[in-house]
Amino acid sequence: MSAHILVVDDEPGICSLLQEILEDEDFTVTVAANGAQARVLRQEKRPDVVLLDIWMPDIDGISLLKEWMETGLFDTPVIMMSGHGTVETAVEATRLGAYDFIEKPIALSKLLITIRRALEMISLKRENTGLRRDISVLEPLGHSELITALREQVKRMIHHDASVLIIGEPGSGRTLFAHYLHQHSPRHKGPFIDVRVAGMSPENQAIELFGSEGSSSTARLQQANSGTLFIKDIADLDNAVQARLLSSLENHAFVRNGGAQAVPIDVRIIAATAYDLEQAVHSGRLREDLYYYLNVVPLYVPPLREHCEDVPELLEYYVNLFVSQENLSYRRFTVASQNRLRNYHWPGNVRELKNLVQRLLILGNATDVQLSEIEPTLNTQQRVVSSSNLPIFDLPLREAREQFERAYLEHQLQEASGNVSKVASRVGLERTHLYRKLRALDIDPKQTKK
What per-residue confidence (pLDDT) applies to 113? 86
Q: Is 45 exposed, middle or buried (0-12, 13-18, 19+ CB in 10 A)?
A: buried
What per-residue confidence (pLDDT) applies to 325? 83
* Rounded mean pLDDT, 370-381: 76
Same fold for the pair 142-300 and 308-447: no
Residue 390 has pLDDT above 50, yes or no: no
Q: Write out 408-439 in H/E/C secondary structure.
A: HHHHHHHHCCCCHHHHHHHHCCCHHHHHHHHH
Identify the weakest region by mean pLDDT among 25-29, 406-410, 441-445: 441-445
CA–CA separation, 181 vs 175, rounded Å?
10
Mean pLDDT across the chain, nearest whole number?
Answer: 83
Identify the weakest region by mean pLDDT among 54-68, 162-176, 228-242, 378-392: 378-392
**CATH annotation of 308-447:** 1.10.8.60
What per-residue confidence (pLDDT) applies to 137? 47
The ranges assigned to domains in the chain are: 4-131, 142-300, 308-447
What per-residue confidence (pLDDT) applies to 95? 78
Q: Give the rounded distance of the alpha carbon of 129 from its chain centre.
A: 13
CA–CA separation, 98 vs 101, rounded Å?
7
Full-model pTM:
0.57
* Rounded mean pLDDT, 224-240: 90
Distances (CA, A) of 55 to 51, 62, 64, 81: 13, 9, 11, 9
Instruction: Evaluate whether the domain defined by 4-131 bears CATH number 3.30.70.3420.
Output: no
Residue 90 has pLDDT above 80, yes or no: no
DSSP 93: H
What per-residue confidence (pLDDT) applies to 132? 47
Measured torsion, CA atoms of residues 275, 279, 283, 286, in degrees rounded to the nearest 10: 50
Choices 3.40.50.300, 3.30.420.40, 2.120.10.30, 3.20.20.210: CATH for 142-300: 3.40.50.300
